[in-house]
């Protein structure tokens, strides 16, 4: 399974020309120009926090790779294991330091959501109250080499959104902080139960401070779209290098053609659906009629 | 998603469809949702699947003169109007977040009522047969006052009726509404309503119900394809492969099984779904929080 995925990942095309531009081969990892503009002020802080990385040439850098940059969801899709691996390069032939930690974050496309809360009214459970969230990652998985609280300070974790508790979901209603927190934990709990939010502690292995690898499971029911895999190099509680790789999760083959047709030509698609079901029904009726005679 | 599971699911529902003239949507839709298909896709695709199942059923029944086409056309006209009204209502309920509760309540009320009515009738028939008496007539009240009071009476030869077309038109409207709201073919309303309210001849009830379902689910497929983009052709196709075969098996089985026994079986299935739904409403749900994309 893995071998097949790896092969496809190597030969598979990049999902989008823009994505290729954003991550040129020889670029300094850590200069994540493509990610900065759309991510809001919090990203800006992250960039400022990462300034020493950008300026200092003596820090190590990451060379990341993913087993497959393209995950296809066919009808038989029961989930996949994404292998994230890479090397840590030390400039000037410095000896690798053994106390290096790595955290890998895989994020799905963010979407606005309405979260509803049920309450018992007249004996039955119905939706009572609701809260709007402006940007909820459709998928979020973090894999770390050690427990998160031993890895970085809460502040750093919050800035980089490492850990499910540190996601910035942007509640949009004018509800009280208490209520917002209640809805937020409800939403996160729901996502966790569906396997869409997950923390995999200790699943990243770092070998002699040079090579790292992490196996992150992708469940069967992931939403399609453009994902990112962010790798953080951490030492002494500080993030010293960041690298991002895009991953495209989409429906493949006939599935993809059908999904596209449904979006592009809805009326024709609907008529085709009716025609196909009519013909199949007719064929079955005629076929059975002949068998019986 | 396992293609074989979908095909088998379609097959099981198809047997019921052929036997009783129910589209089977009231079983397909919940089963698909349990299997992890998004509810909107489940509703829309099961409507598409019912279209295909109905074709073979309608052909099989019309070969035996089991379809009253005049009654069917009136029901289709009502169903067309009903499905558009249903689409409007669906969007309104979706906006306020109450669509799930309304769907559940509708299922409990309708399935409970129909299940009880069928169970009572079929138990009486079975008991009568055991004591060696002639079974009581299926239709106790041949002429209901309010239906007889409606103007412009037509003759429906297949159904053996002389009633106003307004009554089946209204029935068609209600089932069209339910097709959009619940993702069902409407057979489980049409069959008992035609039998017990109108007194339609039992010979044409199933075929006529399938005939109406054929056209109304086709309309619903189109409405869903254009507005919600939720029709999944691959899913519907897999369901169809199972269900068209199942429907053929079912429609030949119905001639071998004693009709009162068959009705008793359907009554039990219908009541089981209703009870499950009612319990689901009162128990604390597994997920207090639900999300909706904006």
Q: Chain centroid to CA B65: how far?
A: 21
Chain B hits for A223, CB-CB cut-off 8 Å, are none
List, as ranges, residues 62-81 from B with C-beta within 8 Å of A.
none
Query: pLDDT value at position A19?
Result: 36
Q: What is the ipTM of this complex?
A: 0.75
What's the angle, vertex CA B59, arms to CA B56 and CA B61, rounded to 5?
105
Span between the terminal Cα atoms of chain B, in Å: 26
pLDDT digit string, tens, across residues A177-189: 888 888 888 899 9
Q: Could you tell me which of A102, A123, A190 has the C-alpha nearest to residue B283?
A: A123
| Chain B contact set for A222 (CB, 8 A) | none
> Of all helices (H) and strands (E), which one includes residue B118?
helix B99-130
Instruction: Tell me the chain A residues in contact with residue B289 when contact means C-beta distances shorter than 8 Å.
Output: 115-118, 183, 186-187, 189-190
With an 8 Å Cβ cutoff, is B38 touching chain A?
A: no
Kindly report, residue by residue over B84-103, the tens digit of the pLDDT: 888 788 778 877 777 777 77
Q: Give yes or no for B234 touching A (CB within 8 A).
A: yes
Chain B residues within 8 A of A266 when measuring between CB atoms? 225-226, 229
Q: What is the pLDDT of residue A140?
A: 93
**Is the per-residue pLDDT at B282 higher than 60?**
yes
A–B: how many Cβ contacts below 8 A? 158
Cβ contact A77–B226 (<8 Å): no
Residue A124 to residue B234, Cβ atoms within 8 A: no
Provide CB contacts within 8 A for A244, sequence distance 6+: A23, A32, A35, A64, A228, A229, A230, A231
CA distance B69 to B71: 5
Contact between B282 and A274 using a beta-carbon 8 Å cutoff: no
Q: Which residues of chain A have pLDDT under 50?
A: 1-39, 291-293
pLDDT in tens, B21-40: 566 777 787 777 667 676 67
**Contact criterion met (CB < 8 Å) for A127 and B101:** yes
Highest mean pLDDT among A43-52, B46-55, B169-178: B169-178
pLDDT at B263 over 70: yes
Between A9 and B177, the more confident residue is B177
Q: Name the minimum distance, in Å, from the CA of B150 to any CA of chain A.
A: 36
B167 touches chain A (CB under 8 A): no
Residues of chain B with pLDDT > 70, as a percent, come to 87
- Chain A contact for B54, CB < 8 A? yes
Chain A nearest-CA distance from B49, in A, is 7
Short-list B173, B178, B180, B203, CA closest to B188: B178
pLDDT at A46: 59
- Determine the pLDDT at residue A9: 35
- Whole-model pTM? 0.63
Partner residue facing B231 (CB), from A262, A278, A282: A262
- Across the interface, whether the CB atoms of B244 and A273 are under 8 A apart is answered no
Res B264 pLDDT > 90: no
Q: What is the mean pLDDT of chain B?
A: 78
Using an 8 Å CB-CB cutoff, list chain A residues near B53: 281
Task: Tell me how far apart the alpha carbons of residues A141 and A105 are, in angstroms, rounded to a whole number.
Answer: 6
pLDDT on residue A40:
52
Can you say how many angstroms the Cα of residue B106 is from the centroid of all Cα atoms in its chain?
13
**Count, residues in chain B:** 294
CA dihedral (B270, B19, B161, B149) in degrees, to 10, reads: 10
Best of A267, A277, A280, A288 to disrupt the B interface (most B CBs within 10 Å) is A277
Q: Which of A133-142, A204-213, B133-142, B196-205 has the lowest mean pLDDT?
A: B133-142
């Amino acid at each position: 399974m893995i071998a097949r995925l790896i092969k496809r990942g190597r030969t598979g095309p990049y999902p989008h020309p823009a994505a290729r531009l954003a991550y040129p081969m020889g670029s300094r990892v850590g200069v994540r120009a493509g990610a900065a503009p759309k991510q809001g002020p919090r990203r800006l802080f992250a960039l400022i926090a990462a300034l020493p990385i950008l300026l200092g040439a003596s820090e190590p850098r990451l060379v990341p790779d993913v087993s497959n940059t393209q995950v296809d969801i066919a009808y038989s899709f029961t989930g996949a294991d994404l292998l994230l691996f890479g090397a840590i390069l030390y400039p000037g032939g410095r000896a690798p330091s053994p106390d290096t930690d790595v955290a890998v974050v895989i994020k799905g496309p963010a979407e606005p959501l309405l979260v509803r809360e049920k309450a018992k009214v007249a004996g039955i459970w119905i939706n009572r109250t609701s809260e709007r969230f402006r940007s909820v990652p459709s998928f979020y998985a973090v894999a770390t080499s050690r427990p998160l609280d031993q890895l970085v300070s809460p502040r750093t974790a919050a800035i980089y959104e490492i850990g499910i508790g540190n996601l910035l979901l942007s509640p949009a209603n004018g509800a009280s902080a208490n209520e917002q927190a209640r809805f937020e934990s409800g939403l996160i709990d729901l996502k966790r139960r569906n396997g869409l939010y997950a923390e995999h502690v200790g699943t990243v292995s770092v070998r002699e401070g040079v090579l790292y690898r992490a196996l992150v499971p992708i469940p069967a029911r992931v939403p399609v779209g453009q994902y990112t895999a962010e790798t953080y190099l951490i030492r002494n509680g500080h993030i010293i290098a960041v690298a991002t790789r895009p991953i495209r999760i989409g429906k493949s083959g006939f599935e993809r053609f059908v999904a596209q047709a449904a979006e592009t030509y809805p009326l024709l698609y609907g008529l085709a659906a009716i025609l196909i079901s009519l013909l199949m029904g007719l064929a079955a009726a005629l076929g059975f009629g002949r068998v019986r005679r | 998603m396992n293609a074989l599971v979908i095909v088998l699911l379609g097959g099981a529902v198809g047997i019921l469809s052929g036997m009783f003239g129910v589209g089977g949507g009231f079983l397909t839709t919940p089963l698909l949702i349990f299997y992890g298909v998004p509810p909107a896709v489940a509703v829309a695709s099961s409507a598409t699947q019912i279209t295909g199942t109905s074709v073979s059923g309608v052909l099989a029944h019309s070969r035996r003169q089991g379809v009253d086409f005049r009654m069917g056309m009136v029901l289709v006209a009502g169903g067309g109007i009903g499905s558009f009204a249903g689409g409007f209502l669906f969007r309104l309920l979706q906006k306020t977040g109450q669509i799930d509760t309304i769907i559940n309540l509708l299922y409990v009320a309708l399935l409970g009522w129909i299940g009880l009515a069928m169970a009572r009738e079929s138990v009486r028939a079975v008991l009568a047969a055991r004591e060696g008496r002639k079974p009581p007539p299926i239709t106790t009240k041949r002429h209901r006052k309010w239906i007889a009071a409606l103007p412009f009476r037509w003759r429906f030869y297949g159904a053996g009726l002389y009633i106003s077309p307004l009554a089946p038109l209204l029935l068609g409207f209600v089932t069209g509404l339910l097709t959009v709201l619940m993702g069902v073919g409407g057979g489980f309303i049409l069959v008992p309503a035609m039998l017990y309210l109108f007194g339609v001849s039992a010979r044409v009830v199933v075929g006529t119900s399938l005939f109406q379902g054929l056209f109304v689910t086709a309309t619903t497929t189109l409405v869903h394809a254009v507005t919600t983009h939720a029709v999944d052709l691959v899913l519907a196709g897999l369901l169809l492969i199972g269900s068209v075969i199942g429907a053929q098996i079912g429609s030949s089985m119905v001639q071998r099984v004693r009709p009162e026994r068959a009705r008793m079986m359907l009554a039990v299935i219908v009541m089981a779904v209703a009870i499950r739904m009612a319990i689901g409403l009162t128990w604390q749900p597994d997920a207090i929080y639900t999300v909706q994309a904006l």
